[in-house]
Structure 1
């Protein structure tokens, strides 16, 4: 019945609050808040997370938000994000002629927006930190990313008020030992701590934190803290017995600290290391004591050998995720040891380990039957038949990433296609021996494939994409730089993949308007399109695509000589959800700039 409220008179507050908590999208939440005053009030009560960027005055914004949203548990402040008042809003306020009675208040308002030097108020300060502590009494998680104006004073005042804090991210903040010691003193429930790029810290602060939060701390991240030495890791090993996750990037940590941590933190599950001074001795201790380890990532290690991976394979039977990046002294034996000793492995990434080749991969295929994701990057010793054992043994493989593996060709891809029928993601970049034969096999056998990226593979042409269009229902396709692909291949995708949401066809010299029209007809769900460096696409094809694909959110179209300012204007006017357009500046008319200047990104071509 018109005029009758069928919701507010029936649903109690508790049920509406629960409904609002299940609305994940911020725009949808904002829409709910506009329905009526009751919904506005309840929606504010239901919010538990807010994000703040480098606004005109983040300190004042914190105070305002704390009054509006009283049940906030997570606060994210990231000063890399630029969220400021619109320029036209500030100008309108300034052009009004003030009366003598309002001159002083208007000047104060202008200063709060612009700051003394235009930059001073764009950073969260110690005053803002105090406001966070005062306003968000239920706070459990605080993330401060590159908040350079926060000092020990602000961190101490915050810590003293937020004793229920469980997670603290101080990445890039210039805090020192005194502030960290205050966190250890007051925040006795802290479980997660990120101190990456906190260059002012020394062992004093971290030791004090370990003494205060050692009983509850489960996750710790350290990077580029040049004054943090083995002393800190020894304290963590002694007091943080419940530690489960450690991410460490350091040039000063040695075996002594890692040995102490491995012996003391035997519940460790996740270990990410980039420490140039650690050798086999430390990693052997990890394999001996950290028997619950599930994820191991080793980056740029040049002082340890196959001995380390032998210890890991012999002791860490629960290992599921292994990343080896730029570990030059490792050979095929390392993969042999881990594959044979860790049958639960599900994710393996080998990046730039130049001594690892075909034999190591055969061991993975033989023993790691649960493998779901394999990434091989810059592995020059992998031969054409390297993936045959993977195809035979890893039946549940869902994702394969290949980058600059020059030896891998069609035979390997055919083996994967025929054996790994549950494959969902296939990314291949600059593997020049991969051609139509391998991709056709994928289209014929991998019916669950939704994400296909074949970048700069010169031998892949239309015949391969026709097979993909007939056999797979893709959501994401990237064929950038595959010069043999033209209209026929993309048309097959348009007709066979109606669920396509993301498409990159950049640098396809033979692609024209006909393919764009077919995409408009067959792929109405497209959100992201990249057609840069496509010389045969004109305003006609682009306009047809824009009018049909009304959900389009981003479009990159630089170096397309057939696209003019009229085509750019068509995209902006037809696609009401468009958020980003990348184009040359001279192709944007004054009218388009006035209408959609905030979403247009320019390529610097003014010479």
Structure 2
């Protein structure tokens, strides 16, 4: 038999197989490259793309693509000028709406910026089969009757099943009138997200919504749990919600104060000033009435005490539960004997977040790790009694599963001790958040010499000291840990570094860490971060830095820069979110001995040009007296030195001549100004970038030759 010699080209595959292969590609840039190979591939790529985000100026109608007929998920929230109405009452608005409808006829999921009700009035009839809608608006609502924003949507989209208002500024009285006016739409909703309502829903509002939407499977709402307010959410409200919507699988009930970004006091006792009117017996009835729960968030911001009996019911009454977040729940796990109790009985949990639990101890944390052995994500915030020892034991027990950890505002866990406590999972953790709390740089250098040593296993004072007080698994891993300490320190996962004083210390490589989130108080430095134990992160791609505090009372920094240049040791770092939006300072003038916001921006941005960033989101600091975030001249000049940026999003405003600095960045192709802070300016006259100036900048940006 003679073998046939020939060359089989990838393009010889049947179109059906090529379409299947292309449909599995999700990266936008990769799909764009595929479409440039040949006309056949371009046609197949266009026919298999189901998700698209439009960018550009809404005045350029001729740039709207008409080759994506299979698009089902369309995002129109990022069109520029950002924050301006997409459609008005003119004839051109109707033409644009029909053009969008004809270009994307198969859309069933829509994300759109809605400045006024006229936008949905024109667009909703174009897509009557919409099933999911997400509305975006940060500006104050127009003076219109309650619910008028949603009436066009409910009138034309009879298949609507999901409504997301998490980024839509409206009032609490806007939602219920629209639901009452269209009871059929309300009854068909299975997803409702109203987390953006800053005032918070009262008890009667929640009950009206849940009674109008009995088939809800996912509900996310901002509430008022403080009993000092009229209409607070308490026992009866929770039980009624379970009775009105028994099919809920996802439930987020968050207090209005839970999103506060002020730097927490690490020395308080962890208890809120007031107790919530929620008893553990009512919690038990609440969980019993929702047997399909898979994800629960209860961030009450008021004390809920002795909750372990109710949390024990979650394992038996809610067997599908995979994610749990509790805020100001106390007594979640007693850990007084070898038998697990409380939340430790929820053995199916894959994600657990504990916030402001004042009486959670190391032994309770260990009991949780032994009971919830499937945890892949764990967050702990404001738990004052947790120590490095307890966190090390926790991560060691879960070393085979845990890949996402957040440690924040814990009194006994600063940056160095948090990283030491995570040594058992250094080689597998993928996402990490810590607070940049340094006792002092000198103390940090002293501790670095012993950073490779594992903390000793011991219990807190006042707890049981006998080995019988904890399960047998704990005693087993104590012996295992002693053997780990005696292992050879020259492992191939350790690297030698100099501490600057003639000595050497060893640090492990964080081999799989891809995302790092940091919270730091205003005036503190980022420079000690690599020395704390995060120097070797070969896979780190994204860093999110949030700076919180009032710089009006801060003296001039001793050093000229915050320390962004210290991140140059991460070779794969390409994305950064630098959030200075919670920094409060003097916008124009400052008293003697203080500096204004422009100099603070210089302090925080200096050194960013040395990083190989491709994407940057930047929130400028603000002056609360003028309620405005504006990019200063030093900030614009420093950002313009990032020579590799492709995407730059400034969450604030800027002058037009400052924006021209960015035209000198060769690969830059996506620049936006977003006033996504509340309350946003009421009209466009408070914004430096007008519609015409934004158009001029975009024209200049598009005229450049952009290397790919």
Please classify the TM superposition score into its range, dividing by the shorter chain length: 0.5 to 0.7
What is residue 263 of structure 2 aligned with on the other side? none
- Could you tell me which of 157, 162, 165 is aligned with 2:127? 162
Structure 2: 5+ residue stretches without partners: 1-7, 225-230, 257-275, 455-483, 519-523, 548-556, 579-598, 621-633, 674-708
Cα distance in 2 for partners of 1:590, 1:313 equals 55
Equivalent pair of 1:298/1:323 in contact (CA under 8 Å): yes
TM-score by length of 1: 0.64
Cα distance in 1 for partners of 2:81, 2:658 equals 26
Residue 452 of structure 2 aligns to a residue in which SS? helix
Q: CA deviation at 1:9?
A: 8.5
Pick closer, same or farther for the CA change 1:74–1:464 going to 2, 3 Å: farther
What is residue 406 of structure 2 aligned with on the other side? 401
What is residue 113 of structure 1 aligned with on the other side? none
Is 1:377 aligned to 2:381, yes or no?
yes
Is 1:467 aligned to 2:506, yes or no?
yes
What is residue 390 of structure 2 aligned with on the other side? 386
- Could you tell me which of 527, 540, 553 is aligned with 2:574? 527
Q: CA deviation at 1:273?
A: 0.3
Cα distance in 2 for partners of 1:470, 1:227 equals 45
Residues 196-345 of structure 1 mapped to structure 2, 5 A cutoff: 196=166, 197-199=169-171, 201-214=174-187, 216-223=188-195, 224=197, 233-234=206-207, 237-238=210-211, 240-251=213-224, 254-255=233-234, 258-275=238-255, 279-280=278-279, 283-302=283-302, 304-307=304-307, 309=311, 312=314, 315-325=317-327, 327=328, 330-333=330-333, 338-345=342-349
Q: CA deviation at 1:194?
A: 1.6
Equivalent pair of 1:269/1:292 in contact (CA under 8 Å): yes
> 1:349-376, CA deviations, whole angstroms, 9 ceiling, x for partnerless residues?
2233445444542431342222222222
Cα distance in 1 for partners of 2:122, 2:568 equals 61
Q: CA deviation at 1:167?
A: 0.8
Higher helix share: 1
Q: CA deviation at 1:402?
A: 1.8
Equivalent pair of 2:355/2:380 in contact (CA under 8 Å): yes
Equivalent pair of 1:272/1:298 in contact (CA under 8 Å): yes
Residue 55 of structure 1 aligns to a residue in which SS? coil
Residues 74-113 of structure 1 mapped to structure 2, 5 A cutoff: 74-78=73-77, 82=80
What is residue 440 of structure 1 aligned with on the other side? 452
Pick closer, same or farther for the CA change 1:388–1:382 going to 2, 3 Å: same
Residues 33-52 of structure 1 mapped to structure 2, 5 A cutoff: 33-34=35-36, 40-52=42-54
Cα distance in 2 for partners of 1:288, 1:555 equals 43
Aligned residues: 516
Pick closer, same or farther for the CA change 1:67–1:484 going to 2, 3 Å: closer
Cα distance in 2 for partners of 1:78, 1:205 equals 23
Equivalent pair of 1:203/1:229 in contact (CA under 8 Å): no
What is residue 350 of structure 1 aligned with on the other side? 354
TM-score by length of 2: 0.56
Residue 189 of structure 2 aligns to a residue in which SS? coil
Cα distance in 2 for partners of 1:124, 1:13 equals 43
> 1:321-352, CA deviations, whole angstroms, 9 ceiling, x for partnerless residues?
22223x2x624558975424312222222233
What is residue 428 of structure 1 aligned with on the other side? 434
Equivalent pair of 2:325/2:352 in contact (CA under 8 Å): yes
What is residue 89 of structure 1 aligned with on the other side? none
Q: CA deviation at 1:169?
A: 1.4
Cα distance in 2 for partners of 1:309, 1:39 equals 54
What is residue 142 of structure 1 aligned with on the other side? 110
Structure 1: 5+ residue stretches without partners: 1-5, 85-118, 451-459, 559-563, 603-607
Cα distance in 2 for partners of 1:309, 1:201 equals 35
Residue 193 of structure 1 aligns to a residue in which SS? strand
Q: CA deviation at 1:378?
A: 2.5
- The alignment yields a C-alpha RMSD, in angstroms, of 5.8
What is residue 471 of structure 2 aligned with on the other side? none
Is 1:71 aligned to 2:58, yes or no?
no
Cα distance in 2 for partners of 1:517, 1:240 equals 49
Equivalent pair of 1:461/1:482 in contact (CA under 8 Å): no
Residues 9-24 of structure 1 mapped to structure 2, 5 A cutoff: 10=12, 14=16, 17-24=19-26
Cα distance in 2 for partners of 1:407, 1:383 equals 5
Q: CA deviation at 1:201?
A: 1.6
Cα distance in 1 for partners of 2:163, 2:659 equals 49
Equivalent pair of 1:72/1:139 in contact (CA under 8 Å): yes
What is residue 103 of structure 1 aligned with on the other side? none
Q: CA deviation at 1:38?
A: 5.3
Residue 297 of structure 1 aligns to a residue in which SS? strand
Pick closer, same or farther for the CA change 1:468–1:414 going to 2, 3 Å: closer
What is residue 688 of structure 2 aligned with on the other side? none
